[in-house]
Amino acid sequence: MGKIMDHRRVERSFFIAIVACLLFSSAFAQRKERLVDSWQPTHFDVAITFDGTLSQIASATTAIDVRARKGDVGVIDLDFGTMPVAGVTVDGRAVKFAQHDEKLDVFLPTPTRLNQTLRVSVNYSGIPKDGLILSKDKDGFPSAIGDNWADRVHHWIPCLDHPSAKASVTFTVTAPSDYQAVANGAQLSMKVNPDRTKTWVFNETRPVSPYNMVVAVGRFATGTLRSASTFPITYYVPQSEGRYAERGFAPAAPSVVTFSNLVGPYPYKKLALIVGATRFGGMENANTIVFSPNYFKNFENSAAAKSKLFGIPNSAVEVDAHEIAHQWFGDSVTESTWSDLWLSEGFATYFAGLFLERNEGPERFKEYMRKNAQGYLAYEKTRRAPIHDTQTEKLFDLLNPNNYEKGGWVLHMLRGMLGDKVFFAGLRSYYDRHKDGLASTEDLRRDMENVSGRDLKNFFDRWIYKAGHPVYQVKWRSMGKGMIGLTLLQAQADEAFLQPVTVEIRTKAGKRRVIVRPDSKETTVAVKSANPGSIVIDPDEAILKEVVN
**Residues 157-196 pLDDT 10s:** 999 999 999 999 999 999 999 999 999 999 999 999 999 9
Taking Cα atoms as reference points, which of 165, 168, 166 lies closest to residue 183?
A: 168
How many other C-beta atoms lie within 10 A of the C-beta of residue 258?
21
C-alpha span between 380 and 534 (Å, rounded): 29
Look at residue 418 in the predicted model and tell me its pLDDT.
97
Look at residue 304 in the predicted model and tell me its pLDDT.
87
Taking Cα atoms as reference points, which of 70, 51, 66, 134 lies closest to residue 104?
A: 66
103-107 sheet: strands from edge to edge: 75-79, 103-107, 97-100
Q: Catalogue the long-range contacts made by 83-86 (C-beta closer than 8 Å, 24 or more residues apart).
A: 83/57, 83/124, 83/125, 83/126, 83/127, 83/128, 83/129, 83/155, 83/156, 84/124, 84/125, 84/126, 85/122, 85/123, 85/124, 86/123, 86/124, 86/125
HSE-CB for 257 with a 13 A CA cutoff:
11
The Cα-based distances of 278 to 127, 222, 461 in angstroms read 17, 19, 35
Name every residue whose Cβ is closer than 8 Å to that of residue 17 and which is 6 or more positions away in sequence. none
Report the amino acid identity of residue 81.
G
C-alpha span between 153 and 96 (Å, rounded): 23
C-alpha span between 104 and 431 (Å, rounded): 35
pLDDT in tens, 82-102: 999 999 999 999 999 999 999
C-alpha span between 463 and 56 (Å, rounded): 47
Whether 542 contacts 413, CB under 8 Å: yes
Look at residue 535 in the predicted model and tell me its pLDDT.
96
* Cα three-residue angle 448-452-457, rounded to 5 degrees: 55
pTM of the model: 0.93
Look at residue 267 in the predicted model and tell me its pLDDT.
98
Look at residue 9 in the predicted model and tell me its pLDDT.
35
C-alpha span between 79 and 300 (Å, rounded): 44
User: What is the mean pLDDT of each successive set of 10 residues along the chain, which is 549 residues long?
Assistant: 35 38 49 93 98 98 98 97 98 98 97 97 98 97 98 98 98 98 98 98 98 98 93 97 97 98 98 97 98 93 91 97 98 98 98 98 98 98 96 97 98 97 98 98 98 98 98 95 95 96 94 96 95 95 96
Look at residue 79 in the predicted model and tell me its pLDDT.
98
